[in-house]
């Protein structure tokens, strides 16, 4: 095979690695261990795109490099295989999600293998495999049967709590969670309780518990949606209305671990940005909980948490979340209609929208007043959607002079903004949150400093029973239930309305077969369709399934011991592999997956089931590869969905408007012709003028068409040519979670134009490029090298397919070091020349240094420079080329394996080769060229041995013809020699 043919070489070695299980790791080895892990993918129907392999290539280079360094490397891969897209495809087609998922996994495995990754495929896991999710369910049961003891600062089995109840009742028990949710009882009362009463008393202490929780509920889809699945108050899939609804949900008490999660960040080698995101998400704050009694409502107190209790005299109003439990009680008859209207509008907005919207001020007065606990002054009680029921107490003490959002609210509704400090400035234009100066208009703290005032106020409130000092966290307990089919069944059943955990011996609780994958006609989750699905034939199961992050919170542990039928991971295997040494993945998981995984690990640590302190010691977030995205624009707010049909559960398709037409309509100079054209097109769409929020007649007769509020949605770039959409290609179901079936209003010339943007290359953005095409044309080694060559691993990088040709040329040039002019192998056993050895050892040193620092782009540059140098030297020496093959093998493994075998080594053995030893003396130059100057002005250059002393160099200069030629007959005062740098003759 004289020429370099990657298509042949790569298939050969991929088959060899698979047959011989070359990269299989052993749980028992005398070698030091190294565990390198990729965040495993969700297997979508689209397969991998060129953005995916970036992190996988980097981690594979590290894994292969660590093997060369003599380590026992665990480098596994699996699939996060439960998910909404497969379920939605099942709803549309009737095909079981498992069938779709397995097919997609086959595609992923093929693509991963053809990229030459050194995964130990014998350890593959799939979260949708009952043998795997048996242990996900088992961990849930441990959470269900545990509570968090604040005295021991760890989770304990619920039996220890029951023992305390039996001995002392509920008195003196310090447990994580809200004390207000629990009942007080004596030991005697506990003994007299029946089973159901005891379980009800225990429930508020459990780490996995049920509670009425506000969620994003989409009636058309019949499920709870995460914040990421809601855009502009509508479901990302289908554009259906989403509302905030109070529903019974399973929750996990991650808040019990808030402080430990915060402290643990200090021990991790993670990007500072990720650690800061987790710190902010956990949000520890030290302040006070203050009680504002409501006037005219005995016992209806409003509790507020504040970090600035010193500003309490400036609290001119209270703001409650629209979902606050006291709203109905507090609202006066005169304000009832306005409050109800505001609450209805709030339900249509997601929490994320409410928190991020700082431009618009909205709110409504309840008609009720509270009493300021420090001076009894009446404080009006308002509702505003920027306050969330699930955060803090769902109430805010508004101090407009010290908080900008409160300031804007007070300005908008003409509420007072009194100064409370003599250091506050410019209150006519903005709030001033300063802690400097001394307090004014503040009763008992007038004249005091911030620290003095805070101390005095907390003492006063505690004495009066109206407040207390408190440490709080922004972190909320994690909602754990989803009203979907394709997820892990929650191992809980109900007896007389009380939740019980399934016996461990009955695990796994396997997902039952059902005839359809949508909610039942009565609104139950899809599992409600499972005929006769009862625990031991008599008790109803929980119908919700676990969220997607359940299985991914512990998968790294299962990789250590994937075939263990008796334990989620064997004790010996877990102790041997310990922490993940290197975790590679996207920064988008900072406050989701990474936080939940740490939480589960700390919980398992409390149970004595893991031996480390944190799951992932080092984390690297690979940067994004950027692509060009296209968008279509869906019209919102004017479409009244018809009742979903029994067959499809779908409403009438939405309407999309070409971006150029939309921009013209929305401009100040919109033409009459464009308005008439658009209105005529909308008139043709059946039912379009059935509106929700505005009178039909007003909209239908509008000549401005200014009601066209739109949401931008990504469209597959493969269906777009020069920003012109192939409407026929998208107007049919393609298996995606967000189909774009609908009515398309094109330009007058018939073209439907899309918007565009440069952003992350991602399947969710439909702007991806398939690596299969590039591998077919250039080879996997070329793609691996090119993705590393694009730039520093952690930076964003724009994709340019043209750049891969240069890397392909480099690999051909490397091949020709061994096969001149693509001829037969021409490597000789002749001794290497000093220049050749120098070129080699520069690579040995540089590549080791840069891999250790995860600087892979500079490694590729180093290889390119070395190959150019060796080509120029005509190098054919084994002593140089054989180590060079080993150095290249982590980056271009197929080519390296082929050349390694040609050099006479056992097939597939390069992974066991030692990393070449670096010899510093080979980089030392034999001679050094010195510039020689007269009075600082360089006149000549002279070469001396690198070992020459300053005295020897001075003597040689004095005895040479230098002074005769340049000294002008002047006497030499002294000769200054800077070793290795220069010589200066002073005359």
Measuring CA to CA, which residue among 377, 378, 419, 414 is closest to residue 401? Answer: 419
- Residues 262-266 have a mean pLDDT of 97
> How much of the chain exceeds pLDDT 90, in percent?
71
**How far is the C-alpha of 753 from the C-alpha of 755, rounded, in Å?**
7
Q: How far is Cα 318 from Cα 643, in angstroms, rounded to an integer?
A: 41
Rounded-to-integer distance, Cα 561 and Cα 27, Å: 8
pLDDT (0 to 100) of residue 572: 97
Instruction: Categorize the per-residue pLDDT at 802 as very low, low, confident or very high, splitting at 50, 70 and 90.
Output: confident
What's the burial of 750, exposed, middle or buried (CB within 10 Å: 0-12/13-18/19+)?
exposed
Q: Taking residues 889-916, report their average pLDDT.
A: 97
**pLDDT for 765:** 82
| φ and ψ of 242, to 5 deg | -120, 135
- The answer to whether the annotation marks 284 as part of a ligand binding site is no
Structure tokens that stand for 881 in this block: 């080329």
Mean pLDDT (whole number) for 280-295: 94
Half-sphere exposure of 222 (CA within 13 A, CB side): 22
Residue 925: pLDDT above 80? no
With CA atoms as reference, report the closest residue to 789 among 855, 724, 740, 840: 855
Q: Say which range, 232-236, 592-596, 862-866, 970-974, has the weakest mean pLDDT.
A: 232-236
pLDDT at 922 over 50: yes
Give the count of alpha carbons within 13 A of 605, CB side only: 18
What is the spatial distance between Cα 239 and Cα 230, in angstroms, rounded to a whole number?
Answer: 9
Q: Is the pLDDT of residue 573 over 50?
A: yes
Sign of CA dihedral 974, 978, 983, 986: negative
Beta-carbon contacts of residue 2 (< 8 Å; ≥ 6 apart): 819, 822, 823, 824
Q: What's the rounded mean pLDDT across residues 248-275?
A: 96
CB 793 within 8 A of CB 60: no
Choose among 540, 407, 390, 415: nearest CA to 477.
390
Say whether 626 sits in a helix, a strand or coil.
strand
Q: How confident is the model at residue 369 (pLDDT cuts 50, 70, 90)?
A: very high
Q: What sections of 226-357 are H helices per DSSP? A: 258-264, 272-282, 327-330, 336-347, 351-356
Residues 6+ apart with CB under 8 A from 639: 652, 654, 655, 687, 688, 690, 691, 692
% of the chain residues with pLDDT over 70: 94
Question: pLDDT per residue over 626-647, tens digit each?
Answer: 888 999 998 875 444 333 333 3
- What is the model's pLDDT at position 708? 64
pLDDT category at 123 given cuts 50, 70, 90 is very high
Is the pLDDT at 677 greater than 60, yes or no?
Answer: yes
Distance CA 881, CA 870 (A): 9
Kindly tell me the sign of the dihedral angle through the C-alpha atoms of 511, 512, 517, 521.
negative
Query: Tens digit of pLDDT for each residue in 420-469?
Result: 999 999 999 999 999 999 999 999 999 999 999 999 999 999 999 999 99
The owner of tokens 């505690």 is 462
- Neighbouring residues of 553: CB distance < 8 A, sequence distance ≥ 6: 593, 596, 597, 599, 600
Give 799's contacts (C-beta < 8 A, 6+ positions apart).
50, 51, 625, 626, 627, 761, 769, 790
* Mean predicted lDDT score pLDDT of the chain: 90
Q: Per residue in 378-437, pLDDT tens?
A: 999 999 998 988 777 899 999 999 999 999 999 999 999 999 999 999 999 999 999 999
DSSP 8-state symbol, 407: H
C-alpha 581/C-alpha 33 separation (Å) is 9
Model confidence at 707: pLDDT above 80: no
pLDDT, position 665: 81
Higher pLDDT, 232 or 699: 232
The predicted structure's pLDDT at residue 1: 56
Residue 740 to residues 43, 121, 224, 392, 863, Cα–Cα distance (Å): 21, 37, 21, 39, 47
3-state secondary structure of 683: helix
DSSP character at residue 421: B
pLDDT confidence bin for 759, thresholds 50/70/90: confident
pLDDT at 443: 95
Average pLDDT over residues 841-854: 97
Neighbours of 806 (CB within 10 A): 13
Angle, vertex CA 289, rays to CA 285 and CA 294, nearest 5: 145
pLDDT in tens, 314-357: 999 999 999 998 999 999 999 999 999 999 888 877 777 777 77
pLDDT score recorded for residue 844: 97
Residue 498: strand pairing partners: 495
* pTM > 0.95: no
Per-residue tokens: 445: 């703290």
The CA distance from 129 to 81, in Å, is: 9
Going by pLDDT thresholds of 50, 70 and 90, the confidence category of residue 650 is very low
């Amino acid at each position: 095979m004289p020429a370099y043919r990657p298509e042949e070489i790569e298939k050969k070695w991929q088959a060899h690695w698979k047959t011989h299980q070359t990269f299989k790791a052993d749980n028992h080895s005398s070698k030091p261990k190294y565990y390198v892990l990729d965040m495993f993918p969700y297997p979508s129907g689209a397969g991998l795109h060129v953005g995916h392999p970036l992190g996988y290539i980097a981690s594979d280079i590290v894994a292969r490099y660590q093997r060369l360094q003599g380590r026992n490397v665990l480098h596994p891969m699996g699939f996060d295989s439960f998910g909404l897209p497969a379920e939605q495809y099942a709803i549309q087609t009737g095909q079981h999600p498992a069938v779709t998922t397995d097919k997609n996994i086959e595609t992923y495995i093929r693509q991963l293998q053809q990229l030459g990754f050194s995964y130990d495929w014998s350890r593959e896991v799939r979260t949708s495999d009952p043998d795997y999710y048996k242990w996900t369910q088992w961990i849930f049961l441990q959470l269900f049967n545990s509570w968090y003891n604040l005295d021991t600062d760890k989770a304990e089995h619920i039996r220890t709590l029951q023992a305390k109840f039996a001995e002392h009742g509920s008195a003196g028990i310090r447990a994580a969670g809200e004390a207000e949710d629990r009942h007080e009882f004596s030991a005697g009362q506990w003994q007299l309780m029946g089973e159901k009463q005891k379980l009800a008393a225990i429930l508020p202490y459990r780490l996995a518990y049920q509670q009425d929780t506000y969620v994003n509920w989409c009636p058309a889809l019949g499920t709870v949606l995460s914040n990421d699945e809601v855009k502009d108050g509508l479901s990302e899939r289908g554009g259906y209305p989403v509302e905030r609804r109070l529903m019974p949900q399973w929750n996990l008490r991650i808040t019990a671990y808030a402080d430990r999660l915060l402290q643990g960040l200090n021990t991790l080698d993670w990007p500072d940005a990720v650690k800061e995101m987790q710190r902010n998400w956990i949000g520890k704050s030290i302040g006070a909980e203050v009680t504002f009694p409501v006037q005219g409502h005995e016992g209806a107190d409003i509790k507020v948490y504040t970090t600035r209790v010193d500003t309490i005299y400036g609290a001119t109003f209270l703001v409650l979340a629209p979902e606050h439990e006291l709203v109905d009680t507090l609202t006066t008859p005169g304000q009832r209609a306005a409050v109800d209207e505001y609450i209805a509008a709030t339900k249509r907005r997601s929490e994320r929208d409410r928190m991020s919207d700082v431009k618009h001020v909205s709110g409504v007065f309840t008609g009720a007043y509270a009493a300021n606990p420090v001076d009894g002054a009446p404080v009006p009680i308002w509702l505003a959607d920027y306050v969330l029921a699930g955060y803090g107490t769902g109430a805010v003490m508004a101090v407009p002079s010290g908080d900008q959002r409160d300031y804007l609210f007070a300005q908008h509704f003409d509420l007072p903004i009194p100064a409370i400090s003599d250091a506050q400035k410019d209150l006519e234009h903005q709030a001033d949150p300063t802690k400097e100066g001394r307090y004014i208009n503040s009763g008992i703290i007038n004249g005091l400093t911030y620290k003095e005032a805070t101390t005095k106020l907390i003492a006063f409130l505690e004495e009066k029973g109206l407040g207390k000092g408190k440490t709080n966290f922004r972190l909320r307990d994690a909602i754990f239930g989803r009203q979907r089919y394709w997820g892990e069944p929650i191992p809980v059943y109900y007896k007389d309305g009380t939740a019980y955990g399934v016996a461990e011996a009955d695990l796994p609780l396997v997902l039952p077969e059902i005839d359809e994958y949508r909610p039942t006609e009565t609104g139950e989750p899809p599992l409600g369709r499972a005929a006769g699905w009862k625990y031991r034939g008599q008790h109803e199961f929980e119908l919700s399934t676990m969220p997607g992050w359940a299985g991914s919170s512990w998968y790294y542990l299962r990789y250590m011991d994937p075939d263990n039928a008796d334990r989620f991971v064997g004790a010996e295997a877990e102790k041997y592999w310990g922490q993940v040494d290197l975790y590679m993945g996207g920064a988008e998981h900072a406050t989701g997956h990474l936080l939940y995984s740490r939480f589960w690990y700390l919980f398992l640590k409390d149970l004595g089931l893991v031996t480390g302190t944190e799951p992932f010691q080092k984390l690297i977030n690979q940067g994004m590869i950027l692509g060009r995205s296209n968008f279509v624009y869906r019209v919102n707010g004017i479409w009244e969905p018809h009742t979903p049909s029994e067959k499809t559960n779908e409403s009438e398709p939405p309407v999309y408007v070409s971006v150029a037409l939309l921009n013209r309509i929305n401009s100040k100079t919109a033409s009459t012709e464009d308005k008439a054209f658009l209105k005529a097109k909308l008139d043709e769409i059946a039912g379009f003028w059935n509106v929700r929020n505005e009178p039909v007649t007003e909209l239908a007769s509008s000549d401005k068409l200014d009601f066209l509020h739109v949401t931008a949605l990504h469209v597959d770039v493969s269906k777009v040519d020069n920003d012109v959409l192939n409407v026929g290609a998208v107007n049919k179901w393609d298996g995606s979670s967000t189909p774009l079936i609908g009515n398309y209003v094109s330009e007058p010339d018939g073209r439907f134009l899309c918007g565009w943007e440069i952003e992350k290359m991602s399947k969710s953005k439909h702007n991806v490029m398939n690596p299969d095409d590039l591998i077919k044309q250039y080879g996997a080694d070329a793609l691996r090298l090119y993705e590393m060559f694009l730039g520093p691993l952690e930076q964003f990088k724009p994709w340019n397919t043209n750049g891969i040709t240069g890397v392909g040329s480099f690999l051909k040039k490397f091949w020709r070091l061994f096969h001149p002019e693509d001829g037969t192998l021409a490597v000789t056993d002749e001794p290497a020349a000093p220049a050749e050895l120098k070129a080699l050892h520069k690579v040995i040193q540089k590549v080791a240094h840069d891999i250790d620092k995860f600087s892979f782009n500079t490694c590729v540059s180093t290889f390119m420079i070395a190959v150019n140098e060796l080509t120029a030297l005509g190098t054919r020496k084994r002593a140089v080329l054989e180590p060079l093959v080993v150095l290249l093998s982590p980056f271009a493994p197929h080519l390296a394996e082929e050349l390694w075998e040609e050099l006479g080594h056992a097939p597939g053995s390069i992974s066991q080769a030692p990393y070449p030893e670096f010899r510093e003396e080979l980089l030392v130059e034999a001679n050094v060229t010195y510039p020689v100057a007269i009075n600082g002005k360089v006149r000549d250059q002279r070469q001396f041995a690198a070992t020459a002393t300053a005295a020897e160099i001075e003597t040689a200069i004095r005895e040479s013809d230098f002074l005769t030629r340049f000294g002008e007959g002047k006497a030499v005062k002294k000769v200054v020699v800077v070793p290795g740098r220069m010589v200066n003759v002073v005359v």
